[in-house]
Amino acid sequence: MQTYNAPLRDMKFVLNELHDFSKLTSIPAFSGVDADLVETVLEEAAKFTTRVLLPLNPVGDTEGCRLENGVVHTPTGFKEAYKQFCDGGWSSVSAPPEYGGQGLPESVGMLISEMICSTNLSFGLYPGLTAGAMTALRKYGSDELKSFYLPKMIDGTWSASMCLTEAQCGTDLGLVRTKAVPQGDDSYAVTGSKIFISAGEHDLTENIIHLVLARLPDAPEGIKGISLFLVPKFLPNEDGSLGARNPVVCTALEHKMGIKGSATCQISFDEAKGWLVGAPHKGMQAMFAMMNAERLGVGIQGLGITEVSYQSAVSYAKERLQGRALSGPKYPKLAADPIIVHPDVRRMLMTMRVNAEGCRALGTWVANALDIAEHTEDKAQRRDAEDFVALLTPVVKAMFTDMGSESANLAVQTYGGHGYIHDHGVEQFARDARITMIYEGTNGVQALDLVGRKLPAHMGRSLRGLFHPIADFVAEHKEHPLFSKMIEGLERALGALQLSTAHVAQKGMADPEEAGAAATDYLRLMGLVSLAYLWARTVTIAVSKLGAAEGPDKAFYTAKLSSARFFYDRILPESAALYLKIKSGKKSLMELPEDLF
């Protein structure tokens, strides 16, 4: 069974104890926000997602979407749920107040997103795409476009899609063929075909605002000739009411492995009216603005799937009676022991648990930095925060989704044969999770982004924002009798990461294929070291609080120590293998001639 209770206690922990939420609330933009308000918001989000979205998750998977006469019908209940979503204010949580948003930090928005992704990833894609499009529009749209479109996107009346991919291009958007021809006024006629468009057409909102990559007639070839256009499904009148239908048509729905409740559309533009967003030929810039927001968002999808996989597996492992504990019957009165008594089942459960807790801790760290980057008035602080977000974005996207897919598959494995059967709903997690490793840039592309763009940027400046706090922490706690063994492990992993960084920088400078050959393993190593640091900090916090803690708090901190131990014993050792793989270089990947494959 798909089982979910929002992990509110852990969310409070990462916001307030592991990271310093008060640092955020000292920023004027968040002056009205405090921990109590956030707690209330999260509790309400927990209720909404668990009561409304979770029951619709298997419905969406079983029914899928239907295309009839150009109209896409979402699964039963999605439309009503979307209305409740908007009425409850969930579409506007961290949107800017000047356009009607509630202006809560992204750190809070991220945790709400996590709940949405745990309970109904397919549903979450509809508002998720709108949020990504809003980022691009806010950063690059004209004031006119912003003041006209953003309020209705923020209150959820209108939704958005991102129309990038075409049949011949996904990763390489320089190959985009869609055309935009100026119409003499400030508008353009957009013509072309797009595929894989999430939320490209549906029945949840009265209008859909497409952000479309296309080429102007005078565009240079390749990636430097791409511009971004806003193309509404219905052309709005000046008062915001809907005017003529723009020739933007859903020609087909993709048949996918999962996220079946999400409408993934082929969209055809036939001289559709649109407006330029940002400067001509600078569409990739705007695209990356929304893409980066989306990449963090996709990482959080991985976290959401991890959490619900964990909880669903735990509930089964406690119920399913099969065999006896290796150490002798634990429940002699039952026909058999529940399978949670088995070390190998616990290995799977702990992996999911520690994946979820670790990703939540790291995701919140990055979301905090994002809030600082967007709202602080301190320039140096902003620069550091921007660096940090840029560096960690590919790590969050790729590692979290790898772990999401791993966790969903571990949930299936915990259920055994019953996990392979549709009825229990866990195989849906595995199918849904699978796309997160692919869209918004495959995880391989994330790794290339990390080693090719993020590492060399500003002469490695951003790395210091990650390495320094870890090195400082190591120095501070190295001699502590309680922590020394753990710190040793952290120091070793950090050392491996630093050596790997030097390898990538040196070898990669002379031969970019060397950087490419290291990329995926390097990204994972950076992710593991970041997690190791956060787990070490978690341990010091838990130890300091355990003395005075009672009841559920005591249990919480005790469990944190076990999670941390598991991470250090069973997950961090991977870093030894990663380092060896990175060091081995490109030869074994590149030497086989193409025709011998």
Q: Which residues within the stretch 400-419 sit at the binding site for its own copies (CB under 8 A)?
A: 405, 409, 412-413, 416-419
Give the integer Cα–Cα distance in Å for 194 and 187. 20
Give the integer Cα–Cα distance in Å for 169 and 177. 9
Nearest in space to 205 (alpha carbons), one of 250, 265, 161, 144: 161
Q: Which stretch binds its own copies (CB under 8 A): 137-145, 203-211, 378-386, 562-570?
A: 562-570
Give the integer Cα–Cα distance in Å for 241 and 133. 21
Nearer to its own copies, 272 or 350 (CB): 350
Nearer to its own copies, 76 or 562 (CB): 562
Structure tokens at 591: 């030497």
Show contacts with its own copies in window 55-114 (CB under 8 A): none
Q: 441 — alpha (psi -120 to 50), left (phi > 0) or beta?
A: left
Show contacts with its own copies in window 181-210 (CB under 8 A): 195-196
Residue of 420, 475, 502, 509 interacting with its own copies (CB under 8 A) = 420
Q: Which stretch binds its own copies (CB under 8 A): 87-95, 100-108, 129-137, 579-587?
A: 579-587
Q: ∠ CA(432), CA(348), CA(363), 5° rounding?
A: 60
Strands 207-214 and 158-163: parallel
Q: Single out the catalytic residue among 166, 307, 440, 514.
A: 440
Q: Which stretch binds its own copies (CB under 8 A): 109-117, 208-216, 364-372, 588-596?
A: 588-596
Q: Binding to its own copies by residue 430, rule CB under 8 A?
A: yes
Nearest in space to 109 (alpha carbons), one of 165, 185, 55, 30: 30
Give the integer Cα–Cα distance in Å for 194 and 159. 18
Show contacts with its own copies in window 516-535 (CB under 8 A): 516-517, 519-520
Residues 6+ apart with CB under 8 A from 62: 75, 260, 422
Residues 6+ apart with CB under 8 A from 521: 578, 581, 582
Q: Which stretch binds its own copies (CB under 8 A): 39-47, 226-234, 430-438, 457-465?
A: 430-438
* Active-site residue, 440 included: yes
Q: 104 — alpha (psi -120 to 50), left (phi > 0) or beta?
A: beta
Burial of 69 (0-12, 13-18, 19+ CB in 10 A): exposed
Q: Binding to its own copies by residue 487, rule CB under 8 A?
A: no
Give the integer Cα–Cα distance in Å for 141 and 228. 10
- Binding pattern for the stretch 137-156 against its own copies, x by CB under 8 A and - elsewhere: --------------------
Give the integer Cα–Cα distance in Å for 523 and 536. 20
Nearer to its own copies, 384 or 440 (CB): 440
Show contacts with its own copies in window 264-293 (CB under 8 A): none
Give the integer Cα–Cα distance in Å for 158 and 240. 11
Q: How far is the CB of 173 from its own copies (least distance, A)?
A: 10
Q: Binding to its own copies by residue 584, rule CB under 8 A?
A: yes
Q: How far is the CB of 555 from its own copies (least distance, A)?
A: 6
Nearest in space to 187 (alpha carbons), one of 212, 224, 223: 212
Asked if residue 338 lies in contact with residue 320, where contact means CB atoms within 8 angstroms, the answer is: yes
Q: Binding to its own copies by residue 423, rule CB under 8 A?
A: yes
- Torsion sign, CA atoms 477, 481, 486, 491: positive
Nearer to its own copies, 232 or 302 (CB): 302
Residue of 512, 543, 545, 549 interacting with its own copies (CB under 8 A) = 512
Q: How far is the CB of 382 from its own copies (least distance, A)?
A: 32
Nearer to its own copies, 230 or 349 (CB): 349
Nearer to its own copies, 64 or 151 (CB): 64
Residue of 438, 505, 543, 546 interacting with its own copies (CB under 8 A) = 438
- Measured CA distances, 317 to 51, 119, 150, 336 (Å): 23, 20, 46, 12
Q: Binding to its own copies by residue 332, rule CB under 8 A?
A: no
Q: Binding to its own copies by residue 421, rule CB under 8 A?
A: yes
Q: Binding to its own copies by residue 301, rule CB under 8 A?
A: no
Q: Binding to its own copies by residue 363, rule CB under 8 A?
A: no
Residue of 383, 431, 464, 545 interacting with its own copies (CB under 8 A) = 431
Residue of 80, 87, 186, 511 interacting with its own copies (CB under 8 A) = 511
Q: How many CB atoms within 10 Å of residue 499?
A: 13
Q: How far is the CB of 418 from its own copies (least distance, A)?
A: 8
Asked if residue 493 lies in contact with residue 532, where contact means CB atoms within 8 angstroms, the answer is: yes
Structure tokens at 287: 């695209």
Q: Binding to its own copies by residue 506, rule CB under 8 A?
A: no
How many amino acids of this chain bind its own copies (CB under 8 A)?
101
Q: Binding to its own copies by residue 261, rule CB under 8 A?
A: no
Q: Binding to its own copies by residue 573, rule CB under 8 A?
A: yes
Q: How many CB atoms within 10 Å of residue 282?
A: 16
Q: 318 — alpha (psi -120 to 50), left (phi > 0) or beta?
A: alpha
Residue of 255, 333, 379, 485 interacting with its own copies (CB under 8 A) = 255
Show contacts with its own copies in window 312-331 (CB under 8 A): 314, 317-318, 321-323, 325-327
Q: Binding to its own copies by residue 170, rule CB under 8 A?
A: yes
- Measured CA distances, 398 to 140, 303, 378, 395, 441 (Å): 27, 11, 30, 5, 9
Structure tokens at 95: 């949107």
| DSSP classification of residue 95 | S
Q: Which stretch binds its own copies (CB under 8 A): 26-34, 53-61, 168-176, 458-466?
A: 168-176
Q: How far is the CB of 516 from its own copies (least distance, A)?
A: 4
- Binding pattern for the stretch 448-477 against its own copies, x by CB under 8 A and - elsewhere: x---x-------------------------
Nearest in space to 412 (alpha carbons), one of 430, 436, 435: 430
What angle do the packed helices 143-154 and 106-140 form, to 10 degrees? Answer: 150
Nearer to its own copies, 499 or 590 (CB): 590
Residue of 513, 541, 543, 545 interacting with its own copies (CB under 8 A) = 513
Give the integer Cα–Cα distance in Å for 140 and 281. 13
Q: Binding to its own copies by residue 9, rule CB under 8 A?
A: no
Q: Binding to its own copies by residue 558, rule CB under 8 A?
A: yes
Q: Binding to its own copies by residue 554, rule CB under 8 A?
A: no
Show contacts with its own copies in window 366-385 (CB under 8 A): none
Catalytic residues: 440
